Amino acid sequence: MTPWILQALNGISMGALLFLLAAGFTLTFGLGRVVNLAHGAFYLLGGYLGLTVLRGTGSFWLALVAAGAGIVAVSWACDRFLIRRTRENVLGQVLLTVGIAYVLADVCLAFWGGSPLRVPPPEFARGPIDLPGGIVYPRYRFLLILFGALVAGVLWLLYSRTQLGALVRAGVDDREMVDALGINVDRLFALVFGLAAFLAGLSGVAGGAFLTLYPGADWDILAYALVVVIVGGLGSLGGAMIGSLIVGLVDAYGRWLLPEFSYFMVFGPMALLLLVRPTGLFGREA
């Protein structure tokens, strides 16, 4: 019984991390029709930035915030000078953001080198935690689950209970209509894009604590985040939540039961799902 629960916890904690990344990606697309394949690079760069701040100040919280803020700045610059010029041109946007990702990854390599680096978790999050049922689990990953749930809860409240959230939902539904109502959709989008960037940078630090940061981690994590977004449906926050849980759990059990086919376990069902429902579980027409 115990190994099954342990793997479930692995899956849920991975899902929590994936949610942080996927939520921003899916809302950015839903509202602005922007596909940002540099999102994984944002994660990696954020993680490295946070690590440097952590080494300099000793504060994990400061590292989280600095990583988030740093990526907000980077993403703002990318949007302002580059991404904005490819609106409506999906092909161009995909290639452009891939190019940005390549440059950012190289910058990371230049400043932080090629060896995997681990972000040391804060004191209170180190070591094991005793859970009911005699289960012993890494404290950090357990706290990550709580953190992910917290962020999910806050986002969900903002999304479904506030006027701002209503505007975002309306914009995802029908951008032209919101525009016609006199609301500055561009500014709304900038807000969502900024939030997505903040979460990406922050998740780099969070992920760096147990997955480590290394060249290639940007694409590794992005691939998983994309599965979440595809399964959950582009533009759906709820879909991102459910999708990250599913992907996290399938990945954990897959790696444990069939390590040689774990990739296939995660991506295969996704492909099958799309055959039946081309827009994912809760998505809308692209």
Partner 1 sequence: MVSLATLAIAIPALAAPWLLGTFWISLVTQMLILGLLALSVDLLTGHTGILPMGHAGFFAVAAYTTAILEVRHVQGFWVSAGGGVLVAVLLAVVFGLSVRTSGVYFILLTLALGHIVWGVAMRWTTFTGGENGVSNVPPPAVAAVRFADLSVYYYLVLVVVAACGLGYRRLVRSPFGLALRGIRESESRMRGLGYNVFAHKYAAFVISGGLAGVAGVLYAYWNRFVSPAAATFHASAEAVLMGILGGTGTILGPFIGAAIILGIRNWVSGYVVWWTSVMGLVFIATVLWAPHGLLGLVRELRRPAAPGSPPP
Which parts of this chain interact with partner 1 (CB under 8 A)? 29, 33, 35, 82, 85-86, 89-92, 94-96, 98-103, 105-107, 109-110, 219, 223, 226-227, 229-230, 234, 259-264, 267-268, 270-271, 274-275, 278-280, 283, 285-286
DSSP letters spanning 19-88: HHHHHHHHHHHHHH----TTHHHHHHHHHHHHHHHHHHH--HHHHHHHHHHHHHHHHHHHHHHTGGGGTT
Smallest gap, in angstroms, from Cβ of residue 102 to partner 1?
3
Of the candidates 100, 99, 95, the residue with the CA atom closest to the CA atom of residue 77: 100
Choice between 21 and 66, CB closer to partner 1? 21
3-class secondary-structure state, position 128: strand
Of the candidates 143, 145, 109, the residue with the CA atom closest to the CA atom of residue 218: 109
Contacts of 85 (CB under 8 A, 6+ apart): none
Choice between 19 and 29, CB closer to partner 1? 29
Smallest gap, in angstroms, from Cβ of residue 267 to partner 1?
4
CA distance 139 to 267: 29
Choice between 125 and 225, CB closer to partner 1? 225
User: What is the H or E stretch that residue 231 is in?
Assistant: helix 217-232
Choice between 81 and 163, CB closer to partner 1? 81
Choice between 191 and 274, CB closer to partner 1? 274
Choice between 96 and 195, CB closer to partner 1? 96
CA distance 214 to 212: 7
Choice between 135 and 265, CB closer to partner 1? 265
Contacts of 19 (CB under 8 A, 6+ apart): 148, 151, 152, 228, 240, 241, 244
